[in-house]
């Protein structure tokens, strides 16, 4: 069992005048760090009712910014910048990781560019506006509407409050990712697209701008092997080709091999060089299965919203940002669904480096209009250009739960057309990954059928999951507001095929307390594992965010009280599936008074079949599940489990315990190695006290939510 380590600090580290916050180079995946200047740190800031310093790159709503003001709709940043004198003769590019929502950028009072879109990275060539060695005033004027309904804003709160206010958080406005300057060649690569889905070579596409892009010579070289390709740009400055690899090494979670490709434009003093990364990786849907590099893959994912206390959507420091990937892995997950947010390239590069798969998706608007749909679609080229090289990203998602489509795809041809149009646009931009057009339900054009379902009653959950797996049912209830429950279908159109696409649950989880949530995690996940038709799941969620206490970890990334559950066991390659509907958190069954019989299955998603015995033993209530037991009280005969096939049931019969107790269950191979663990708590279930309740109000079930 892997233990969750104590969380690191989530507040920004102390800095001095020479060390800005977030000092690391922000683009290790597209490296130009030989000549760059970090512009984070203290800027002058003006907004209505405030004039003073602000710390970039933290949103003005955050405590870390020093402003800590919500609902400012406009703000102006200023600072002096001086380009290093030895950059003379180079082109100078000003880069922004992200600014919410509309930015106008001036140098010494002259506009050098503007950009709308609160999550996208963008840059301006400011060669003519900044003279090396000469100070200049950089000004960034930002408009961040309080009314966000028609702009992509994801989980940021809006005024007027939109339909998602109950699951929305403090807005992130203004500059919220790193700002920096780079020196580049006189003709340089504005974009470098690398793809390795052939598994045998690296496809390279470069777009040049600058002094003379047409006809420029470009060389792409694999660092470490020297394999290279020489290209000549066409009249529009574009060049493309494939680097054939003599001994290709694929990228996978177990062996995340990355290739670093140096792209050089021109030669001599004015040449340009950037080093981009890529992996040889193919992720695809084959019928109802997912495959990674030709092998069947089962998704064990967790939803992560990428929020931090005091700093909002911006990670307080690089260590905190990168550590989240390791924590997700320690919880047993092989994929992170980064929810409604383009996460920083630094995080994506860490996923590449360590082998964590990523389901990526943009922020949504919240009300449908042609303008809102256009703003949503406008993000997609920037998303693919910035993040498309990352082998860790295996799924693109688009709309979430019909946000921005008014929860009405089946009833509105215009809204369904918007979802299809977004799918087709993204498919044109990138044809190497599966795409989900509307995550959650009501699918009209998709490569995966995914569904979001929150159900507090485990018996109802068990039956619903079985019905969705068999195809006997297509609908499930979704509570969209306290007084608004609808039956949603997997399919938003009669034209959507009912078979032949992978089916994935991409949001689930229940419980009011941490103990209840871990209990639901155990039992709900096992029911998903029971049905071989499903291609995976995504639990909601990784860590708490503000008032939303649904995380396995709290906001500071500390583990909660899981009541003996071990997430890494629940999310393992091999798990036990018990034929039982439990009674309550902490009391799966009442203490039996006679011999207790239990049917157990094994679900296994490894490459090879496994064989072992299932054992059981009563222990003291609360005994850790990984505590060695000297002698099992019951064991089955050998069970052999084929990959991706639920084993037949094997029966265990144990004598009754003396009272409240924990029944440990484990699968061990012939050498005694434990392959899977589970447990049952036997305790009295005390009826809830609801004296004084109004007639019809008695319930002990938590209310489901949406995410």
Domain co-membership, 179 together with 195: no
Q: pLDDT tens digit string along 225-266?
A: 999 999 999 999 999 999 999 999 999 999 999 999 999 999
CB contact at 8 A, 245 and 201: yes
Domain co-membership, 501 together with 381: yes
pLDDT, position 587: 97
pLDDT, average across residues 41-67: 98
CATH code of the domain in which 194 resides: 2.60.40.10
Domain co-membership, 432 together with 545: yes
The verdict on residue 147 lying in a domain is yes
Domain co-membership, 316 together with 355: yes
For 348, the 3-state DSSP assignment is: helix
Domain co-membership, 312 together with 276: no
The verdict on residue 687 lying in a domain is no
Domain co-membership, 297 together with 257: no
Which of the four pLDDT bands, split at 50, 70 and 90, describes residue 16?
Answer: very low
The verdict on residue 466 lying in a domain is no
pLDDT, position 688: 84
| Tally of domains within the chain | 4
Per-residue three-class SS string for 105-162: EEECCEEEEEEECCCCCEEEECCCCCCCCCEEEEEEEEECCCCCCCCCCCCECCCCCC
Eight-state DSSP code of residue 480: E
Q: pLDDT tens digit string along 588-607?
A: 999 999 999 999 999 999 99
pLDDT, average across residues 46-50: 96
Q: Rounded mean pLDDT of the chain?
A: 94
Q: pLDDT tens digit string along 461-493?
A: 999 999 999 999 999 999 888 888 999 999 999
The span from the CA of 520 to the CA of 527, in Å, is: 11
Q: How many helices (H) and strands (E) does the chain have?
A: 7, 41
68 contact partners, CB below 8 Å, separation of at least 6 = 60, 61, 62
Closest CA to 423 of 435, 415, 406, 411: 435
For CA atoms 289, 428, 210, 137, the dihedral sign is: negative
pLDDT, position 522: 98
The verdict on residue 478 lying in a domain is no
162 contact partners, CB below 8 Å, separation of at least 6 = 148, 149, 168, 366, 367
Residue with tokens 């406008």: 378
Task: Give the DSSP per-residue string, 421-475.
Answer: HHHHHHHHH--SS-EEEEETS-BSS-SSEEEE---S-HHHHHHHHHHHHHTS--E
The span from the CA of 629 to the CA of 623, in Å, is: 10
Domain co-membership, 603 together with 564: no
* Residue 535 dihedral angles phi and psi, to the nearest 5°: -100, 5
The verdict on residue 609 lying in a domain is yes
pLDDT, position 480: 83
Q: Which residues lie across from 256 on neighbouring strands?
A: 251
Whole-Å CA distances, 40 to 16, 81, 140, 629: 12, 11, 13, 55
The verdict on residue 694 lying in a domain is no
Which of the four pLDDT bands, split at 50, 70 and 90, describes residue 17?
Answer: low
Domain co-membership, 269 together with 297: no
Does 13 have pLDDT greater than 80?
no
Residue 538: give the domain boundaries: 292-449+490-571
The verdict on residue 459 lying in a domain is no
Question: Residue 12 — left, alpha, or beta (φ > 0 → left; ψ -120 to 50 → alpha)?
Answer: beta
Which of the four pLDDT bands, split at 50, 70 and 90, describes residue 162?
Answer: confident
Domain co-membership, 129 together with 197: no
pLDDT, position 408: 87
The span from the CA of 458 to the CA of 582, in Å, is: 8
* Domain's final residue, options 123, 151, 184: 184
Domain co-membership, 334 together with 440: yes
Distance of alpha carbon 222 from the chain centroid: 29
What token pair was written down for 612? Answer: 């072992």
* Domain's final residue, options 161, 184, 207: 184
The verdict on residue 404 lying in a domain is yes
pLDDT, average across residues 681-694: 89
Which of the four pLDDT bands, split at 50, 70 and 90, describes residue 695?
Answer: confident
CB contact at 8 A, 422 and 415: no
* Domain's final residue, options 184, 211, 229: 184
Which of the four pLDDT bands, split at 50, 70 and 90, describes residue 25?
Answer: very high
What token pair was written down for 327? Answer: 């924590």
Domain co-membership, 220 together with 176: no
pLDDT, average across residues 99-121: 98
47 contact partners, CB below 8 Å, separation of at least 6 = 60, 67, 69, 72, 74, 75, 76
Q: Using omega within 30 degrees of 0 as the cis cutoff, is the peptide bond preceding 224 cis?
A: no
Percentage of the chain beyond pLDDT 70 is: 96
CATH code of the domain in which 375 resides: 3.20.20.80
Percentage of the chain beyond pLDDT 90 is: 91
Q: pLDDT tens digit string along 479-529?
A: 888 888 999 999 999 999 999 999 999 999 999 999 999 999 999 999 999
Q: Which residues lie across from 240 on neighbouring strands?
A: 205
Does 699 have pLDDT greater than 80?
no
Domain co-membership, 372 together with 507: yes
> 3-state DSSP helix/strand/coil percent for the chain, to nearest 5?
15, 35, 50
Closest CA to 441 of 395, 474, 482: 474
């Amino acid at each position: 069992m892997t233990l969750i380590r104590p969380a690191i600090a989530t507040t920004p580290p102390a800095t001095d005048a020479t060390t800005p916050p977030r000092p690391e180079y922000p683009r290790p995946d597209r490296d130009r760090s030989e000549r760059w200047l970090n512009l984070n740190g203290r800027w002058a800031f003006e907004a209505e009712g405030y004039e003073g310093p602000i710390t970039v790159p933290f949103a003005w709503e955050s405590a870390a910014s020093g402003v800590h003001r919500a609902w400012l709709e406009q703000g102006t940043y200023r600072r002096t910048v001086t380009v290093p004198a030895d950059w003379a003769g180079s082109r100078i590019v000003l880069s922004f990781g992200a600014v919410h929502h509309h930015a106008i950028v001036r140098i010494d009072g002259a506009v050098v560019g503007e950009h709308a879109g609160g999550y996208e990275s963008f840059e301006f060539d400011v060669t003519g506006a900044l003279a090396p060695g000469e100070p200049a005033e950089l000004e960034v004027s930002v408009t961040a509407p309080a009314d966000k309904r028609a702009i992509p804003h994801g989980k940021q709160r809006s005024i007027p409050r939109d339909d998602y206010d109950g699951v929305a958080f403090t807005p992130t406005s203004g500059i919220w990712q790193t700002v920096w300057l780079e020196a580049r060649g006189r003709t340089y690569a504005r974009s470098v697209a690398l793809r390795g889905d052939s598994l045998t070579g690296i496809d390279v596409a470069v777009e040049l701008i600058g002094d003379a892009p047409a006809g420029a010579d470009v060389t792409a070289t694999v660092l470490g092997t020297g394999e290279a390709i020489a290209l000549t740009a066409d009249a529009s400055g574009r060049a493309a080709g494939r680097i054939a690899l003599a001994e290709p090494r694929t990228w996978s979670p177990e062996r995340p091999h990355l290739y670093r490709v140096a792209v050089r434009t021109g030669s001599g003093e004015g040449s340009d060089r950037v080093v981009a990364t890529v992996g040889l990786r193919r992720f695809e849907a084959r019928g109802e299965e997912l495959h990674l590099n030709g092998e069947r893959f089962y998704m064990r994912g967790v939803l992560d919203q990428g929020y931090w206390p005091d700093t909002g959507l911006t990670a307080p420091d690089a260590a905190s940002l990168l550590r989240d990937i390791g924590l997700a892995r320690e919880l047993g997950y092989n994929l992170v669904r980064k929810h409604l947010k383009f996460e920083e390239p630094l995080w994506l590069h860490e996923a590449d480096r360590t082998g964590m798969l990523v389901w990526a998706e943009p922020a949504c608007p919240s009300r449908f209009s042609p303008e809102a749909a256009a703003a949503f679609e406008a993000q997609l080229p920037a998303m693919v250009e910035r993040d498309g090289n990352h082998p860790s990203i295996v799924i693109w998602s688009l709309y979430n739960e019909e946000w921005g489509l008014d929860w009405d795809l089946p009833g509105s041809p215009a809204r369904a057309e918007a979802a299809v149009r977004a799918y087709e646009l993204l498919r044109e931009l990138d044809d190497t990954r599966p795409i989900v057009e509307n995550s959650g339900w009501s699918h009209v054009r998709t490569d995966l059928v995914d569904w979001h379902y929150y159900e507090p009653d485990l018996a109802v959950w068990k039956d619903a999951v079985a019905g969705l797996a068999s195809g006997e049912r297509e609908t499930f209830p979704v509570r969209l507001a306290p007084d608004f429950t609808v039956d949603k279908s997997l399919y938003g159109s009669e034209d959507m095929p009912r078979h032949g696409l992978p089916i994935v649950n991409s949001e689930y989880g229940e419980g009011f307390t941490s103990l209840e949530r871990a209990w639901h995690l155990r039992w709900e996940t096992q029911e998903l594992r029971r049905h071989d038709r499903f291609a995976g799941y995504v639990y909601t969620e990784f860590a708490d965010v503000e008032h939303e206490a649904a995380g396995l970890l709290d906001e500071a990334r500390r583990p909660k009280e899981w009541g003996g559950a071990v997430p890494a066991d629940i999310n393992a390659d091999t798990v036990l599936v018990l034929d039982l509907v439990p009674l309550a958190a902490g009391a799966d069954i009442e203490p039996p008074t006679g011999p207790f019989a239990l049917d157990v299955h094994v679900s296994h998603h490894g490459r090879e079949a496994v064989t072992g015995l299932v054992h059981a033993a009563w222990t003291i209530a609360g005994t850790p599940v990984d505590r060695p037991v000297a002698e099992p009280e019951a064991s089955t005969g050998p069970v052999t489990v084929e990959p991706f096939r639920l084993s037949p049931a094997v029966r265990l019969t144990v004598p009754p315990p003396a009272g409240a107790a924990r029944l440990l269950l484990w699968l061990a191979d012939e050498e005694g190695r434990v392959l899977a663990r589970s447990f049952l708590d036997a305790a009295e279930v005390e009826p809830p006290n609801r004296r004084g309740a109004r007639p019809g109000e008695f319930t002990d079930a938590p209310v489901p939510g949406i995410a």
